[in-house]
Structure 1
């Protein structure tokens, strides 16, 4: 069991908290690019417990500054976009995207007051449909060469969703391979050809067996956890018979992300970003290795559940997540519909705003969670000691972090170790964009990577 002090250490991300200092060592998703489309590109943002406002200037650059005006604290989220900046509606003070005050119109003519006024501001960059902010000190790190950042815009789609709980319990669902056999269990299988855009609904690579059938009938996976340069690799094995085994390879991407297969053609790279200690957003980039992403379909599918402008779920605690006891008896394990995002949201929100880990009892199937918490504490300690944490990359080292490799398929019971790598490499080789073969597996499947 965990002490309350240890639980606070790994969950709280305020500016003065040890984990908050760790999180500020990385670029954080602050908003979707879509959120700043339209006539008034201004959005309030709460990130790592800080109240900010995000806006796009006339020149196309982005600003992320303190939400409360340096003059008398009025809310800049209601400001006016004028003269190359964001103007406070209270007294007209104008701030540019760097936070510098450039006009104080109510002051006497010739006043130099504005020169000494600056809102706290943070750098913002656009990448794969997400606006990323760096809330740390000093120069920000470089972005790793992940597939979701390398793929062209036509082959990626970004979305997000709100969860009313701490970021850590939201992340830990994604590194828990065992839960999918229960939480996401369907009692009947659907036509896998209609599974586009839906997780756990298609067929596994190398077969026509629906993933729903595999999860339902083989609910005791053997879970292997490997340490990598970017975090952890998780391999879940469900042996079907003496000759064939279902293999699912996922990755924990430090500090608060994971990379998982969505289908034979698409992966999900997802981050769990603290709004504050009791709320978070998941941000996901869906990456296709085949045809361009059908973005209108993907967006429409998700807007059936999530409401704008805050990307909150229509099924939530206030309506029992749509729970239907008849459905639970006959159709799904939860009785909460067929969207697995609802299942996950119920699971993590039902733990409370911040899970009380002093009362939990972990088992063998929780080995990835145990390893991740150990890694998290290790990196918090490094930052506290003045060192750079894992995956804080410079330009020279950014290319070394590629992929990472993922896979979901049925392969040989003897020889699955090489099989999953071959499936991943073949998918990369067939991609219409230059999907890099991660260095960590390239040498093990040389017969497929000879062209490099």
Structure 2
């Protein structure tokens, strides 16, 4: 890849090629939980721009530029009162739609408020995540994916910060081969105690621990197929003559993936740039079986991430918790048993913006190659003012369901049917997905 191409697909500030594209999609900007505090207002940095997100007394969400349109003071410190956010500097008041309700320091009878607006943007809540749209024109519709249509008790949302460019954070999720190495455990744990933990349970339709599959069958055959939403990736590991481990994951354009977490739960995860050198991942966990134990899921993740900003407790600053003895005896990385740490090391160690001119891609990188082609093509369309993949209307959104995301052991000669049958079986037994 040339330096120019690398710049084209990584830089996200206003007016950049990738930034222009990504602004035409809904972006996760906060968890609903983050506005449950006594003072429900937060600063948000998104693609190099500064915003505030708040909830007014009526429960409405507002998302707007952070600098007051009067003289540029910081609205993140504003007072939430009287139907909006009030700037501390001169008391100007703005509602969730950016209308200026009051300019109290002005003379009695002043009409200035009628001529002032703060730039505001649409914001909606989906399954515990607040999404904002900062692009031009009408935003696309939300596809009718499982993570968006499942009842609240069957979903759980969380986030975490990564100190690197959004693109390398996304690309780890469309690389099926890395799991056999980066997430390798030398011993198999108790699969019955794996709730809420990825790659720690048993593969569906078997008692075979996923850890054993990844460790012993480390040369997957990877297939990449185009889909209406982006790409479907299938990783096949031949267990024996009669059985194949089948893992189906999905790239949802432009910057999400949907992957299996366990036999009953999937993860939909977005990678959202704060700027060129940092991003947050936002995940919606969706259960097809029992309602999600949100308290347990949250407690598990707060062992690694620190509030209020969901910053990781390990990172470059403490060598990711690396332990040489552990690396020799327990895990491939020596960085603990939480795979989020493994992924964090992998993507952050590439630098804040990976230099892709130095890459030597292999055959297992075919998903990454296919995605970069989609991305470059979509950037070209966006620069011309044309619609790109997943810029959909409500009619199109209704046709985009699922998508199937399966990790299981199926018949060796009919794996292509297995994942479809397994998906239907899981849906038919679900309280909500049937």
Instruction: Give the TM interval when normalised to the shorter protein.
Output: over 0.9
Match for residue 40 of structure 1?
Answer: 39
SS of equivalent residue, structure 1 residue 179: helix
- The 2-side partners of 1:96 and 1:382 are apart by 35
How many positions carry a matched residue from both structures?
434
Q: Deviations over 1:276-310 (max 9, x none)?
A: 11110000000000110000000000001000111
Match for residue 182 of structure 1?
Answer: 181
Match for residue 126 of structure 2?
Answer: 127
Deviation at 1:38, TM superposition (A): 2.1
Deviation at 1:400, TM superposition (A): 0.8
1:92 aligns with 2:86: no
Deviation at 1:198, TM superposition (A): 0.2
Deviation at 1:48, TM superposition (A): 1.4
Match for residue 110 of structure 1?
Answer: 109
Deviation at 1:407, TM superposition (A): 0.7
- The 2-side partners of 1:96 and 1:263 are apart by 43
Match for residue 270 of structure 1?
Answer: 269
**Unaligned 5+ runs, structure 2:** none
Match for residue 380 of structure 1?
Answer: 379
Match for residue 291 of structure 2?
Answer: 292
SS of equivalent residue, structure 1 residue 268: strand
Q: Deviations over 1:256-281 (max 9, x none)?
A: 00000000000000000111111100
1:227 aligns with 2:231: no
- The 2-side partners of 1:183 and 1:199 are apart by 13
Match for residue 308 of structure 1?
Answer: 307
1:322 aligns with 2:329: no
Match for residue 215 of structure 1?
Answer: 214
Match for residue 153 of structure 2?
Answer: 154
Deviation at 1:99, TM superposition (A): 1.3
Q: Deviations over 1:385-432 (max 9, x none)?
A: 221111111111111111001111111111111111100110011110
Match for residue 138 of structure 1?
Answer: 137
Deviation at 1:186, TM superposition (A): 0.4
- The 2-side partners of 1:150 and 1:102 are apart by 36
Contact 2:306 2:313 in 1 (8 A): yes
- The 2-side partners of 1:277 and 1:120 are apart by 23
Match for residue 404 of structure 1?
Answer: 403
Match for residue 441 of structure 1?
Answer: none
Task: Return 108-117 or 263-272, whichever deviates more.
Answer: 108-117
Matched ranges for 1:369-448 at <5 A: 369-435=368-434
- The 2-side partners of 1:330 and 1:289 are apart by 36
Q: Deviations over 1:161-214 (max 9, x none)?
A: 000000000000000000000100000110000000000000001111110011
- The 2-side partners of 1:360 and 1:297 are apart by 40
SS of equivalent residue, structure 2 residue 386: coil
- The 2-side partners of 1:259 and 1:39 are apart by 34
Match for residue 331 of structure 2?
Answer: 332
- The 1-side partners of 2:381 and 2:273 are apart by 21
- The 2-side partners of 1:112 and 1:58 are apart by 25
Contact 2:288 2:433 in 1 (8 A): no
Match for residue 346 of structure 2?
Answer: 347
Contact 2:168 2:354 in 1 (8 A): yes
Q: Deviations over 1:42-92 (max 9, x none)?
A: 000011111000000111111111111111211111110010000011111
Task: Return 269-278 or 110-119, whichever deviates more.
Answer: 110-119
Deviation at 1:123, TM superposition (A): 0.6
- The 2-side partners of 1:162 and 1:38 are apart by 20
What TM-score does the superposition give when structure 2 sets the normalisation length? 0.99
SS of equivalent residue, structure 1 residue 178: helix
Deviation at 1:434, TM superposition (A): 3.2
Match for residue 14 of structure 1?
Answer: 13
SS of equivalent residue, structure 1 residue 271: strand
SS of equivalent residue, structure 1 residue 40: coil
Match for residue 169 of structure 2?
Answer: 170
Deviation at 1:363, TM superposition (A): 0.4
Task: Return 28-37 or 92-101, whichever deviates more.
Answer: 92-101
- The 2-side partners of 1:31 and 1:44 are apart by 10
- The 2-side partners of 1:83 and 1:406 are apart by 46
Deviation at 1:383, TM superposition (A): 1.2
Q: Deviations over 1:316-352 (max 9, x none)?
A: 1100110111111111011000000001001101100
- The 2-side partners of 1:301 and 1:428 are apart by 27
Match for residue 49 of structure 2?
Answer: 50
Match for residue 75 of structure 2?
Answer: 76
What TM-score does the superposition give when structure 1 sets the normalisation length? 0.95
SS of equivalent residue, structure 2 residue 176: coil
- The 2-side partners of 1:15 and 1:228 are apart by 29
